Structure 1
């Protein structure tokens, strides 16, 4: 899979190039930390999702690159939060509409015809 660079680090954690810790794939920073020139602004995540490579290289080895299966795609399930958010917003809009309608009815009732 072809993926674009993710500069800046994660939501709560910053990349630490001096320590070799990368919480996001910031291609430009990785290239600079490794002393590489002319790096492409994207990276390749090899392999087909859901499959395991036949012979994965051992940790720390200089096995074949790109190594498959390094990208973990995991989405947070926030559906209940979305339900409360949208129903809350809908209730506030409905409440504001009721208040405006009551105010308009009072103003019109006071005006002489």
Structure 2
């Protein structure tokens, strides 16, 4: 029985995906969402990409989209292991943890860790 384990190239890609998503989420949270000057400027009618991104991300985390997407992708990865599903679940899970969807995103990330105990799919 061979357990699911990404190859070294996929591990490097997953590290890059994880760190980039955490970095972008931290940038959005502390430079766009939580800064009162940016919030006031955006509410006053400033139309920049930062204000548009701030509005979209705020509506997404208000509806727990990051968390639910991460959970769905992690469950799909648990059923059928794939590096692409792992990367997508990791990215949305990292975004959700930083952007106020901690409970669902933590569940998704724990399912990703749990998926390492899953048997690898048989080659066709």
TM range (shorter): under 0.3
The structure with the larger Rg is: 1
Normalising by structure 2, what TM-score? 0.22
Normalising by structure 1, what TM-score? 0.24
Q: Please state which structure has a larger fraction of its residues in strand.
A: 1
Q: Please state which structure has a larger fraction of its residues in helix.
A: 2
Relative contact order: is structure 1 or structure 2 higher (C-alpha 8 Å, sep ≥ 6)? 2
